[in-house]
Structure 1
């Protein structure tokens, strides 16, 4: 019973973090002027708070001080709204009730089976424990596990573990679920003006994207969610050319290397895709600054991790390629089997490829959204090419390519899928009248 109480307290804490520093007063203005959903603004508040936490992780300032300040100001500045009939009516909204319901259901499932996976237990847990005891980034040298793994996900885990009522570690992991669901609800609100279709799409996405195994200490749900917001913000920027969308996109994208080292690849591929398509954008200067500062912040992270220079994304492979016929045949066979397993495990990929086909060959779309689709397809091609190059290199690894495919390919493709779920939303947006017949 006490754990159920703590689950509710955890949700309330996440909710309060979603209402500060952009309070309800300004939320309505943003929603009306920029057409942003409340779930987008929830995430924007979380993002601002997360940036402060990331900064604090390099200082001696205690995290609990920041926690109490956010809770205090969130309550005080939104108190009038929280006790109003407007708030009560918003809570009664079927989509918001569904959001609460899904959060609580998944929280209960995690609490009922809080075991950690191997990677979660041997690596990420110790980083989270570091922040639970209010140590900082520079103390990570003394923790167990892989030293060069980035720490942002574990920072959130440790922070909300520390601030939970019972201080059990698995309550810290619940924030990943809150972010995951916020991203899906925000994405589905691009459909607009159809609560039933929105409800149905959310249900399908949660059903086929949520993997309870990834709640056992892994960081993939966090990467998946941030990539969804990268896709939302660049989509809105291409259509509306609002700089706030580009700023949100920039922050979300450049947080990825602080979650997992694969984030380096995601940042580089996204910016390379921008270079390939920059002629399609009117405000080229903004994109040049975007690309420059993305590379600059990658360099900054590299410098900060100067004591942990071993950040080889292939985990020890040497990037020596041998193009022998037998090796190539072995590689293609292993990858084909691995990709088949992944696509049926994470069926979202089947929907993504089907959506691309429908958008390209079965749908009349605007010229602006053609630019969106072109940009995303270039990203997809570069992701596929990069994955093949990296895994080909594992032919020479002591564990062998089959071990790497079995233990990592599914998680890599899952987190990348977050960026491309937008294809499905665009199909539903264009075909919603046909779907509802």
Structure 2
């Protein structure tokens, strides 16, 4: 790209963008004149780094709404657990259940109350630095100096949801379930939103997700079980019941033998070993002890129940990628398939030869490089998503689904998770209390 002349429209836009983001502390007389050095402007125009790092929003974006102090002078103090808390998000133009983060970000968590003037000062700072809802939400939740969300950042926000949402009112007398529910929701958030698997949710990831839309729906939907993507209590209870059945000593940790009992020993031994190897789990201390936590089990169960989601596809891909090179070789596929053949032989069932199974799998995935599904899961995710069960099942489960001739079986949605807490086998507090 050639340097634009000083009188060109591109030059004018760039000059306006530079002036727009000059620190407001500088007076008009202190502002440098970008036009005095056209060569510098041309260099900036050609710089990908400049356009990448230039702050948002564009020039045409309207200014964010300010907190209307004149309408809330009587709000001398507020508590996010009290009936007067709704004016906080309403005055800021935020969904109701932002009230907890707003209150804590203004210092209310430390003092138990916050003056309206301190709150306004906090909110003005947010408006100066954040230009969309994702940036605002991250700013309110993160620790000082951080630009991303970690799991602990969601705890105060979700605790406020537990304390105040009408659909969770029955949990007020069952405090032992609060942390379990919060842990489950956090794992579901990271499972869906944190596509980088970094354990850190950035503004960009939050923008690409539907999480903030679901937070807004908390205000509109009194039945929290209708919010099935993240907040459903029934979904939490089913997951927790399944974990409770496997965790016989109830220390919130399960070993490989415990996990092997899941779904009547459906998961192959080699696949269980990979899960416990740390390929898809977090926490080095737990891995050294040969156990996984409840949080890790949430990821496993979601991936097991729905193999069509992007995270589920990557979950099983990571398990089978033994050398971590981002490709599934014939050796790796055969390594897992051998156990399936032995299991089928013990049941007097003739197993499909590996070569035939491999050919059908390659036809489904259509890998980029012949003979190795390198990038197949990622580059062909749309093709594989509709038949993910057919691709993973032959090498992960002891009762594999045939690769061919089962389209009708996958046309129907998978059966819903069920849980019978009767007989004292599950937690005492059910989903319909």
TM-score by length of 1: 0.29
TM-score by length of structure 2 reads 0.29
Larger-gyration structure (1/2): 2
